[in-house]
Amino acid sequence: MTKVMCSTIKKKNCDIEESVEEPISKNKQSTMQSTDTPLYVVTTLRDATISYGNKVSGEEAQDMPLTPTQQDIDWQTGIRKLKFPSNWSYTKENDEFNIFKVLKDKGSLEVEKSLVLCKGIVSYQVKKSIVPQNIVLLPSLLTSLTVLENIIKVFDELEVCGGVTVSHVNSKNVLQKLQQVEFNEGYEDSGVWRSYSCKRLLQPPSSKFPNARKYTACKDCRNFKITLQKKIWNLNQLT
């Protein structure tokens, strides 16, 4: 399993420009508002439409100075006391925690989902494949044990993208030719086809449309299937 190593927090140098400003009057002070973005905690998939303020990528998180709250968190004691969902456990090596979900697949145990936490910075994996950092529901920077516990619950409930399969293949020869094609949009992955932009996880159902169609593949993989079916049609015409 790919590990995310802790890196030294870097301090960015800022160029300060000198300027002469007028003193702020009381009227101006009264109209000033805080620009701090609030942090919302997702506790269930029903709340999943709420974002965590501005999403921070893993690389940006490593360059950000730790807040006093993060520095004071006793991750080891806190994680040991957490109530994990069913089939979840964790291991620890130095300052790195590997928190994972194990399921039985074809008679053997397999790690389905995992997250690696190191001093508040976290990355996610689904079946040993890294989850893209642009998923708002899974922040890269955690500020408390409560946020960690809620994130594990949300991560546990999110459905895994199963990729797509192809149909209307007239012969094995056509399938073999299809497998030899190098597509710009995606690739074959253990018996299914997957987009290079696959999110590995499915978007949670909208509370506004509870009866909406449920998909087993993400939108990028479904779009890639359209390309695959067009190629199959062309290959069928040549046989």
Name the more confident of 141 and 32: 141
Check residue 115 and give its pLDDT: 96
- Whole-number average pLDDT of the chain: 78
| Residue pLDDT, tens place only, 207-217 | 788 777 889 99
Q: How confident is the model at residue 105 (pLDDT cuts 50, 70, 90)?
A: confident
Specify the range with the lowest mean pLDDT, choosing from 26-30, 56-60, 84-88, 224-228: 26-30
Tell me the pTM.
0.67
| Residue pLDDT, tens place only, 220-239 | 999 999 999 999 999 999 87
Residue 205 has pLDDT above 70, yes or no: yes
Check residue 137 and give its pLDDT: 86
What lies within 8 Å, CB to CB, of 142 at 6+ separation is 117, 120, 121, 122, 148, 151
What are 99's strand-pairing partners? 90, 115
Check residue 71 and give its pLDDT: 60
What lies within 8 Å, CB to CB, of 75 at 6+ separation is 95, 97, 117, 119, 120, 145
Q: Where are the domains of the chain?
A: 38-157, 172-237
| Residue pLDDT, tens place only, 29-42 | 433 344 343 333 44
Q: What stretch of H or E contains 108?
A: strand 108-118
| Residue pLDDT, tens place only, 172-181 | 999 999 999 9
Mean pLDDT of 105-126: 92
Q: Give me the DSSP letters along 132-177.
A: PTT-TTS-SB--SHHHHHHHHHHHHHSPBP--B-------HHHHHH
